[in-house]
Amino acid sequence: MTAAATPATSPATADERSGVRLARSRRNAELSLLLLAMAMVAAYGAMVEANVLDTITPTFWVPAAAITGVFLGIHLVIRFLAPFADPVLLPAVALLNGLGVGFLHRLDLAKAAPEDRADLATFAGTGGRQLAWTLVSVILAGGLLALMRDHRSISRYAYTLGLAGIILVMLPAVLPASISEINGAKLWVRIGSFSIQPGEFAKLALLVFFAYYLVRKREVLSLASHRFLGIDFPRGRDLGPVLVVWVISLLVLVFEKDLGTSLLYFGMFVATVYIATERVSWLLIGLVLFFGGAYLAYVLGRSVGGPFANFYLRADIWLDPFAKPYDEGYQLVQGLLALGSGGLFGAGPGAGQPLLLPEVQNDFIFAGIGEEIGLFGLSALLVIYLLIVERGLRAALAVRDSFGKLLAGGLAFTLALQVFVIVGGISKLIPLTGQTTPFLSAGGSSLMANWLLIAVLLRVSDAGRRPVTGTGGKVNRPAGGPPEQLHGAPTEVIKP
């Protein structure tokens, strides 16, 4: 036994560590980054006007100022409700969102007749609607931060959320095509002129459920295994859940005719299983299952058609978009041409021809922006996505409970996968599917869901960076207490 004086010094060093961390809420860094991002949004707006209108109107700063106000609001909310949250997440997301609004406003300018352009109202058109959606989304994100003071509290609703997620996923598939089908993908619920994409919210709900389920089951999934070729493979019966999710995602592929969504759900599950068990075999099983399924769908689509025909068509366009550049391949070809004509440095904001691209406000916004800011600009945007994802994974590493780790890791991965699916689609790396580009694309559902995702990441990172043992009231753990202590009931009271 080498027991010695160490324990006496340990509490002191622990306190000292928290003392060091105490000063590191980094909210001022967040504020200055946010202001820098907003200055860039304003500069973008000015350049768009200079290129499209040939002059800068005196009101060019109004949209940027409006969106700055919205983000300053959420910054204040974070300052009070999640003071130790990651300082990088908000400015990075705000920049993407602001540029998205700016680009949509630029599309409105291009669509308007030349004589109306100068007095196009700031809050009209797609850009104005996106600005309104941003406001709604940010309010929702702030509300989530206020309601969810401890991320572990949502694990109580895991089964409810799981059920809600499955219903949301299945809703567009069972509704008639007249309500749910837009551009060949059944992903929507249309009510009048208003349409929402329930799948966007489903991924959040499902992820909470996955995280909760895997925290419960991960021992079984990771311990019981047999070794083959140096990799631990799980037992056959433990494959059950992953097979269920695989079948569900294939059903999504067949009935909603959308590869991207299907890949998103399946990838999300496989990644959370991998994070939970640290077993590479799950990644292999997932990849084999998915590619096997996709190939099967392709072969079936060629020979049988029916529900698989849409996927076959998309894969076919992907294999050779220039075969039919004016009909089936038109969108992808135009996207590639836009990226190509953008070149390294782009045509300059406002100087491209984004209206030649079909669906430029949704799926192809990345190609539309790419034409104007070029490869250098696009890679900057991709690095910003990468940084957001990295901060999400960092939050997962820093937080101390398994549920939070799985939740943050899974959410960050989902965001990365979604960016991969759409950017890979427009750049012809994978078959094109109608995913939204997070924070950039026009559309309320996507924006709301992704801002809620960011709110959860902020909450988890706040829990992870919060000092472990604080003395001041401000740094104490959030009220409510960790759920796992509720049933850690006292067993015996010893009185000396």
Tell me how far apart the alpha carbons of residues 463 and 406 are, in angstroms, rounded to a whole number: 14
Closer to other proteins by CB, 33 or 442: give it.
33
207-226: contacts with other proteins (CB under 8 A): 219
Picking from 19, 79, 51, the residue whose alpha carbon sits closest to that of residue 470 is: 19
Nearest distance from C-beta of residue 186 to other proteins, angstroms: 37
Tell me how far apart the alpha carbons of residues 439 and 97 are, in angstroms, rounded to a whole number: 5
Closer to other proteins by CB, 21 or 117: give it.
21
Picking from 350, 348, 319, 347, the residue whose alpha carbon sits closest to that of residue 332 is: 319
43: contact with other proteins by CB under 8 A = yes
469: contact with other proteins by CB under 8 A = yes
Question: 12: which residues sit within 8 A by CB, 6+ positions away?
Answer: none
Picking from 245, 295, 236, 292, the residue whose alpha carbon sits closest to that of residue 272 is: 245
Residues 150-189: x where in contact with other proteins by CB under 8 A, - otherwise, as a string: ----------------------------------------
Closer to other proteins by CB, 332 or 339: give it.
339
Token code pair at residue 422: 């759409």
259-288: contacts with other proteins (CB under 8 A): 278
Picking from 479, 458, 450, 446, the residue whose alpha carbon sits closest to that of residue 408 is: 458
**β-strand partners of 228:** 231
4: contact with other proteins by CB under 8 A = yes
Tell me how far apart the alpha carbons of residues 378 and 153 are, in angstroms, rounded to a whole number: 38
Cβ atoms 384, 94 nearer than 8 A: no
Number of residues near other proteins (by CB under 8 A): 73
Closer to other proteins by CB, 136 or 351: give it.
351
Nearest distance from C-beta of residue 235 to other proteins, angstroms: 19
8: contact with other proteins by CB under 8 A = yes
472-491: contacts with other proteins (CB under 8 A): 484-485, 487-491
113: contact with other proteins by CB under 8 A = no
Please state the φ and ψ torsions of residue 232, each to the nearest 5 degrees: -80, 115
340: contact with other proteins by CB under 8 A = no
Nearest distance from C-beta of residue 368 to other proteins, angstroms: 16
Task: Using CB under 8 A, pick the residue from 45, 91, 342, 431 that binds other proteins.
Answer: 91
Q: At 373, is the secondary structure helix, strand, or coil?
A: helix
366-405: contacts with other proteins (CB under 8 A): 373-374, 376-377, 380-381, 383-384, 387, 390-391, 400, 402
193: contact with other proteins by CB under 8 A = no
Nearest distance from C-beta of residue 30 to other proteins, angstroms: 8
16: contact with other proteins by CB under 8 A = yes
Alpha helices in 181-279 (DSSP H): 198-223, 240-255, 259-277
Question: 213: which residues sit within 8 A by CB, 6+ positions away?
Answer: 158, 162, 241
Task: Using CB under 8 A, pick the residue from 67, 74, 81, 88 that binds other proteins.
Answer: 88
- Binding segment for other proteins among 203-211, 281-289, 340-348, 430-438 (CB under 8 A)? 340-348
Cβ atoms 181, 175 nearer than 8 A: no
315: contact with other proteins by CB under 8 A = no
Nearest distance from C-beta of residue 233 to other proteins, angstroms: 18
Cβ atoms 476, 470 nearer than 8 A: yes
349: contact with other proteins by CB under 8 A = yes
Tell me how far apart the alpha carbons of residues 34 and 42 are, in angstroms, rounded to a whole number: 12
Nearest distance from C-beta of residue 369 to other proteins, angstroms: 11
Q: What distances in angstroms separate CA 257 from CA 200, 313, 318, one per listed residue? A: 16, 11, 16
- Binding segment for other proteins among 17-25, 174-182, 237-245, 312-320 (CB under 8 A)? 17-25
Nearest distance from C-beta of residue 142 to other proteins, angstroms: 22
Closer to other proteins by CB, 83 or 325: give it.
83
Residue type, 8: A
User: What count of other Cβ atoms lies within 10 Å of the Cβ of residue 156?
Assistant: 11
Task: Using CB under 8 A, pick the residue from 73, 325, 348, 358 that binds other proteins.
Answer: 348
- Binding segment for other proteins among 31-39, 333-341, 354-362, 436-444 (CB under 8 A)? 31-39
